[in-house]
Amino acid sequence: MTSTFTTTDGAEIFFKDWGDGQPVLFSHGWPLNADAWDEQARLVAENGFRAIAHDRRGHGRSSQTWDGNHMDRYADDLAELIETLDLRDVVLVGHSTGGGEVARYLGRHGSARVAKAVLLGAVPPVMVESDSNPEGTPREVFDGIRAGVDADRSQFYWDLSESFYGFNRPGATTSEGARRAFWRMGMQAGLRAAYECIAQFSETDFTEDLRRIDIPVLVAHGGDDQIVPLHDSAVKSAELIKDSTLRVYSGAPHGLYGAFRTDFEADLLAFLKH
């Protein structure tokens, strides 16, 4: 089933709702949409869970909002979806920017309705380099992303898909289909929302959100993630979260593909069933 709901500020949020059982709610990365989680949503729904995945505001089939393209509002939209569907004992799963969305939700709204969480290739604690985060990614990198989206986002998304899936590594098995799917989802995102989200995933500091998390969290990350570097993200997040399990997939990229996808899906099911 697919449906929509309207947020308190008037945005229409699209979501998929598959299966029955304990709910598992997926939050996608930038600049994608709920389709990025289709394989995992089908997997968990076929294993006795209820899979729900939404398009973030400004992305996919949700409203291309002019305002509200910031992390607090993303977390509030997630809260409103959870409350609209009256989800309880939910497991939150977030990839990349979606991992930030999950962390901010837990820091801002608490865990009363949440049983567990999964942060996959997630952007917390904070990506951008600063005096307090000298290991971070230089701001110039994110300025380059903004410039690419502004100048020719179609070509930029196509080029980005290569490093996203690690297809630029020697000996990598590549998939033009995966790249085309990434490009398609990126081009469905509204330009303003996509542009404004760059600052949100790169500059938002989730440190205090992570410290507030009081549920079990699986922190999963590719060892060769070229988009969100491992040691400035997952390693630090796992240290900040009280009850965390860190799983690093050797040589794996940012996007789920090949052996990385297979291994993560096995870990996801084990974590859900534990």
pLDDT in tens, 29-46: 999 999 999 999 999 999
Average pLDDT, stretch 242-266? 98
In the residue annotation, 225 being an active-site residue is answered as yes
Q: How many domains is the chain built from?
A: 1
Which pLDDT does position 160 carry in this prediction? Answer: 98
CA distance 189 to 210: 28
Q: Which of 95, 225, 232, 237 is catalytic?
A: 225
Model pLDDT for residues 80-105, shown as the tens digit of each residue? 999 999 999 999 999 999 999 999 99
Which pLDDT does position 134 carry in this prediction? Answer: 94
Which pLDDT does position 81 carry in this prediction? Answer: 98
Q: Is the pLDDT of residue 116 over 90?
A: yes
Amino acid present at 167: F
What count of other Cβ atoms lies within 10 Å of the Cβ of residue 144? 12
Q: Which of 27, 62, 63, 96 is catalytic?
A: 96
Average pLDDT, stretch 222-249? 98
What share of the chain in percent tops pLDDT 70?
Answer: 100
Q: What is the pTM of this model?
A: 0.97
Which pLDDT does position 2 carry in this prediction? Answer: 84
pLDDT band at 18 (very low <50, low <70, confident <90, very high): very high
CA distance 116 to 171: 37
Mean pLDDT over all residues of the chain? 98
CA distance 78 to 54: 9
Model pLDDT for residues 54-73, shown as the tens digit of each residue? 999 999 999 999 999 999 99
In the residue annotation, 59 being an active-site residue is answered as no
Which pLDDT does position 1 carry in this prediction? Answer: 86
- Nearest Cα neighbor of 60 from 25, 91, 23, 29 is 29
| CATH assignment of the domain containing 159 | 3.40.50.1820
pLDDT band at 242 (very low <50, low <70, confident <90, very high): very high
- The C-alpha angle 263, 25, 63, rounded to 5 degrees, equals 120
Q: Which of 54, 95, 221, 254 is catalytic?
A: 254
Q: Is the pLDDT of residue 77 over 90?
A: yes
Task: Output the CA torsion 95→203→127→226 (10° steps).
Answer: 60
Q: Which domain holds residue 258?
A: 2-273
